[in-house]
Amino acid sequence: MLHLASFSMPSMAAMSFCTSISKYSSSSTSFKPSKPISPFFQSFSILTQNHTFFCRPIRICSSLSPSSVPEIFIVSRFAADEPRKGADILIEALERQGVTSVFAYPGGASMEIHQALTRSAIIRDILPRHEQGGVFAAEGYARSSGLPGVCIATSGPGATNLVTGLADALLDSVPLVAITGQVPRGMMGNNAFQDIPIVEVTRSITKHNYLVLDVDDIPRIVSEAFFLATSGRPGPVLIDIPKDIQQQLAIPNWNQPIKLSAYLSTLPNPPNDAPLDQILRLISESKKPVLYVGGGCLNSPDELRRFVGLTGIPVASTLMGLGAYPCNHELSLQMLGMHGTVYANYAVDKSDLLLAFGVRFDERVTGKLEAFASRAKIVHIDIDSYEIGRNKQPHVWVCGDVKLAMQRMNRLMEENAEKLLHCDFSAWREELDGQKSKYPLSYKTFEEAIPPQYAIQVLDELTNGRAIISTGVGQHQMWVAQFYKFKKPRQWLTSGGLGAMGFGLPAAMGAVVANPEAVVVDVDGDGSFMMNIQELAAISVEKLPVKILLLNNQYLGMVLQWEDQFNKLGNRAQTYLGDPSKGSEIFPNMLKFAEACGIPAARVTKKWEVKTAIKKMLETEGPYLLDVIIPHQEYVLPLIPSGGTFKDVITEGDGRSQS
């Protein structure tokens, strides 16, 4: 028998824990859900409405208001005092966190969990074709929605196949909950079949992890895991559940308090006015200020736009911060760093005030640390105290939520206009406009050959810069960062800190699940694409309309570029991905992979074919692969060599000029 009860889980406010709140609706005679009810639920429509579960998916801590997240029906199959398996408790715990989709690959040690999933009326269970594809898909879901992604795998190799994705989520601050089956408790540590201590393996690449040793702890552990994943600096949490715990019968206590007092004490308080006033004073005294924004600003686009509107300060973005501020705005300097624009790096080099919001001063941005922003006073706002002063010592710092900090500074400026009375950065903006004119992002054009940058510009034009774009890692990733003009946060899904090839295709899969009405395009390179190409099968079976724009140069292009520029010319170290015995023939034939999975595909080799082909790709219902053959001699420029400074920037050259 099904039993319906009532509670509501609102989204998290900054640095606070949300507990379940009862929501009784006996007076309601009709209710229209914000999303379609599953057929399983509809078959029990005779049940009274006054016992319906409601919940809201948990968003990361600096999210919008709870009302912006739709409520979801929860259907309990058990009476309150009815014993049920630990696996069923786990699945209902996920439902109570607002989980509606998981990416799960079954196995022996996780079989009970997957069986419980089949009994859920709420959760869509997507089967990836590899556990790494599953964790990357969960990342794509989280990055594109702001909701925590969930993946499930079995013990042993299933669990270890999650490792790359967990490390990626940690380095890029992605809220993720990974659940692994484990051998029974009595077999752990005895070299049993598929017995791997995954908690120990992942300890340094997760925000926290759990080994469940008592079935009664499951409700609390799941609540803690989602809170940890989404609060403070988001990150991955792993829950390892032995098989005998999954099978054990228990009556769950859904009102267990969390036990995170030590962690809660580390969460920063809302920033006070003293350092914020100091920041505003520095702005008023500055002549050449620059905003340097990162992934920590993705949840604060409105506050950032208002801050820029009030101050008129130009904005440079990290790779992970793209979209936090519209790339096509006149005050945008686009990306800075190793492959950033000349004018963004020029601005930082010449600035007298660097406002670093939600960033970590990583070496791909700074190059030689001593030379980075050497003329500037530095302001650093970040939610993670570990990042403050770790790489670059700030003059003023605030450890806190950048959203709250900008909200307060905006209010202070609006209430006290004299704080910005002396701010006139028009001369500075004119200087930077001159750099934009002198060093625009550009590329060589050819009569027939397809410049990869051109293909991305066409995609940007046809989607009006509003598609969700995922990428693998390599040259294509940097070209997208340079030439696709992202207008909003969460449009840009890429592996930044870890640089994991194979990310793009499964991430797009997760993004489509989270955003079924959006245009989602995986712009990939042939090297990265091959690393998780098996997910074409999942995309086809699940009928996910992922569009794949494959920039195929038959090489590991970024490695090839570095071989040419920094090593002995012409010495190739297995960077060619084709078959040397087949001459110029494209190998492997990517169209055949798509065809094998029932996905329509086409290939273009001439520049004049590109626009029509991309338009057809976008207009085709369902998934589609477009294989765009590009010359392998193309370089990603500008380039500041690793450990270099702005003075070392390379703006010209390609593989043709090197031959």
CATH code of 278's domain: 3.40.50.1220
Domain identity same for 252 and 330? no
Are 364 and 253 in a shared domain? Answer: no
Whether 412 and 517 map to the same domain: the answer is no
pLDDT of residue 56: 57
Question: 325 and 464 share a domain?
Answer: no
Q: What is the pLDDT of residues 421-463, one digit of tens each?
A: 568 899 999 999 999 999 999 998 888 999 999 999 999 999 9
**Which residue type is seen at 103?**
F
- Domain of 626 in residue numbering reads as 452-637
Predicted pLDDT at 75: 66
Report if residue 565 sits inside a domain: yes
341 token code pair? 């624009």
Over the stretch 136-178, which tens digit does the pLDDT of each residue have?
999 999 999 999 999 999 999 999 999 999 999 999 999 999 9
Check whether residue 198 and residue 308 sit in a common domain.
no
Catalytic residue status for 131:
yes
Asked if the structure places residue 445 within a domain, the reply is no
Instruction: Report if residue 203 sits inside a domain.
Output: yes
Identify whether residues 416 and 463 lie together within a single domain: no
Residue 362 lies in a domain: yes
Looking at residue 555, the DSSP 8-state letter turns out to be: B
Tell whether 108 and 166 lie within a shared domain: yes
Tell me the β-bridge partners of 446: none
The residue annotated as part of the active site, out of 193, 259, 393, 606, is 193
* Phi, psi values for residue 275, rounded to 5°: -70, -30
Long-range Cβ pairs for the range 420-426 (8 Å, 24+): 420/280, 420/283, 420/284, 420/310, 420/311, 421/284, 422/284, 422/285, 423/283, 423/284, 423/286, 423/311, 423/312, 425/286, 425/287, 425/288, 425/289, 425/311, 425/312, 425/313, 425/314, 426/312
- Which of 411, 437, 463 finishes a domain? 437
User: Which has the closest alpha carbon to 115: 181, 176, 159?
Assistant: 181
Regions of the chain where pLDDT drops below 70: 1-73, 75, 418-422, 568-570, 656-659
Task: Using DSSP bridges, classify how beta strands 208-211 and 149-153 pair: parallel, antiparallel or unpaired.
Answer: unpaired
193 catalytic? Reply is yes
Residue 243: active-site member: yes
Shared-domain flag, residues 93 and 199: yes
Q: Are residue 99 and residue 150 in the same domain, yes or no?
A: yes
Q: Which of 92, 95, 131, 303 is catalytic?
A: 131
Q: What is the pLDDT of residue 10?
A: 32
Same domain assignment for residues 599 and 477: yes
> Which of 405, 437, 469 is the C-terminal boundary of a domain?
437
> Is 194 part of the annotated catalytic residue set?
yes
Residue 614 belongs to some domain of the structure:
yes
**Chain-centre distance of CA 404, in angstroms?**
22
344/400 same-domain check? yes
Looking at the structure, do residues 462 and 599 belong to the same domain, yes or no?
Answer: yes
Query: Does 573 map to a domain?
Result: yes
Contact between 519 and 463 under an 8 Å Cβ cutoff? The reply is: yes
Residue 43 lies in a domain: no
Q: From the candidates 558, 561, 590, 593, which is the catalytic residue? A: 558
Instruction: Name the active-site residue from 53, 97, 136, 243.
Output: 243
Q: Cβ of 115: how many Cβ atoms within 10 Å?
A: 15
Our answer to whether residue 558 is catalytic in this structure is yes
Number of domains forming the structure of the chain: 3
**CATH label of the domain that carries residue 178:** 3.40.50.970
In a domain, 150, yes or no: yes
